[in-house]
Chains A and B, each alone.
Chain A
């Protein structure tokens, strides 16, 4: 009972080195470039953050004493005098999907070693991202200035509407903004030829982050704007 087979045979290095040796053990779990595995794990942790928001939001949405403002009307845009429901949000959705497509092509061009096309497609992706953030700034301004929506209340209905709207779209907008910078930096380095020796996995890793931003928007679009 004192020494079972699993521990008896192991030679243990004392201290920190022993911990490192036990955890490493010369085994690799994910057979992908380490940067890609790390990005996936980061994205998974980010998923938990957005899930916190959506979980809280769905519970509050179903439990407010005052009716939730109708997003279809709140986010309508006037075109020629008639309000079109969710128009800006629909355009933002299409902008983000377009950027996802150009990003996927950039990854493909990266592995082909076509530096000019890769960088160009990444810059286009970043530009669409910037357009998205710009439209979000417009939307925030409209809601704050014209509709009088605040994190603690609003004239349209449930006071919780503002806090969830600003927190969820704000966090997503921050992710898009960071993504635009990230894309621009990597694109410049691609153009300069920094990855000629190391290979172009970095483009795919950057792409993972960008697709994740699009992915989060899919859930926000469904749960917040359409619900």
Chain B
């Protein structure tokens, strides 16, 4: 018990003193995941809107595919993107493997189906009269979509928050595509795995506390949106 208490106290002091290694790891984690979620939102929100609003041949298949992709194992995404970015892969000459960019690509692949699915859900759950009303008021198709997005903005923010929650806490993609390079591609999750195996429990615990706080904040945010 002493060990746990002592580790916890050390972890807290690492956080409070803004230990440079802790700060660097948190910064890498958050910056990669934030960039990935922005790209995922730019791709996923229009996909969600399109699938929700359009009737097309094979829609059911697309819905099934989106649902399946939501549960995609992170190591599978890591494996596929690794294949694409490795030296022998089609994009090997870009030299992206084991860089923050590679992690960002992998996390974008992970988050896009989540954002698309949540957006789809938000559009489907929205009042069906919204879009016809906007169009009868004289909106162009683009104005109509923007106004619809404005009406379901809480659902869209929830979609983005859910996607962010998933990628900031994932370990497979970050480990396989980033390579866990200290001060460069080391994220909170990969660092926790490494430091624990090295016996640096207090350091891992400090990162765990921060990761939990991020997850808690995202969930609190989601809950507050659901109550609106």
Q: Do A and B come from one complex?
A: no
A binding-site residues for B, Cβ under 8 Å: none
B binding-site residues for A, Cβ under 8 Å: none
